[in-house]
Structure 1
Amino acid sequence: MLARLQALGYHIYGSHSILTNPTLWRPFSTMALNLTGTCTCKKLQYTIELESADQARTTLCHCSSCKKAFGTNYGLTAKIPIDSFKYSKGEPKLFKQDNGVVRDFCNNCGSFICEYGEAAADKFRYITYGSLDDPEQLPPKGEFFCEARSSWMPKVPDTFQKQKIKE
C-alpha cells in the first residue's frame, strides 16, 4: 500500500502505521517548495519560495521572440508569483524589448535569468528553466505558440497545447 500511495504522489510522514490515518497523507504538489538558481558565473543568484509546485507553471514557448532570446527553437520558463522570487546575490542588468518584455541578465556572464511583460511586472516572473539549480522540481505543464513549433520537434506529452497565448 505504501508504494501505491507514493506512486500516486503522496509523501508519507512518520512510520508506516500512519497508513491507518489518512489525515497524515499529503500529496507532493501541496508541499512547500524552496528553489535556488544562478547565472553561469554565480555572481547573480536567486531564491524562490512557493507554497506548492502548483503555484508555478512551466511552459515551452515557440514564439519568435523567445526563440531569439533563448537562442534555440523555444523558450522554457516557469511562471511564478513575484512575491516568491528574490535575488539573493548580485543585481541584474535589464533589457527592455520593443514589445514591452523586460529580461534580466547577469551583468558579468550574460546569462538570461528571467523575463516579464509590462502588464505582469508587479505580479509574475518567468524564470528561465536552465537557470534553476534543480529544474526537475517544475516539469512542463504546456506549450504556447505551437503553430510556430519547429516541424522536427515533437509535442511535449501530457501537457496543454495552445496555438496562441489567449486561446
Structure 2
Amino acid sequence: QDLETIVVEVVDYLKSLNKNIPVIAAGGLYNGSDIGRMLNIGASGVQMATRFVPTYECDASDAYKMAYINAKEEDIVITHSPVGMPGRALYNDFLKKIDATKKEAISKCHLCLNHCNPAETPYCITKALINAVKGDVQNSLMFVGSNVYRCTKMESIKDVISGLMMELKRT
C-alpha cells in the first residue's frame, strides 16, 4: 500500500476508537507539496530524513553527503539486512560484492543482532554501517530514502526548512 492509503486507514481507525493520537507520516516525503498532502488527509505531522543529510549541519562525512547529491534514481535498490529485513540503499561496490559472492568474510562478530549467525550471514551490518559513518561510501551500506536522487546540492537546514514552508504555503 502507498503512504496515503496507510495514513488514511490509520487516521480513520483511530477516529473509530475515539482516540486522539497524532499520526506522523513518514517515507517518500520530499517537498512542501508532500507535507501538505499528508496534512490534508489527516496526518498531524511528517518525518523527513533524506532531505536533511546533504546539509551543512548534518554530522555525516562529506563523502557520505556527496553520495546523496550524486545519486541517480537507478542507483537506488532494495537490499536485505543479515536478518532478512528489507532496506533501501545506494547500489555501490559493497552491494555489488555481496550480490556476486553472496557472502563477505566476517573477521569479527560484534554480537549486535540476536538473530545473526556469523557463519551464515552475508555480511556484518555493524562493519558496513561503520564504514558509512567513516565516509567509505564504496565499502558500506548506505541507507537512503526513495527521493535521494532529487538531492542535488548542499544546503543549510534553514534553507531546506524555508523552502519546505514556502512550498507548503503554495499548496
Say yes or no: TM over 0.5: no
Structure with bigger RCO (C-alpha 8 Å, 6+ apart):
2
More helix by share: 2
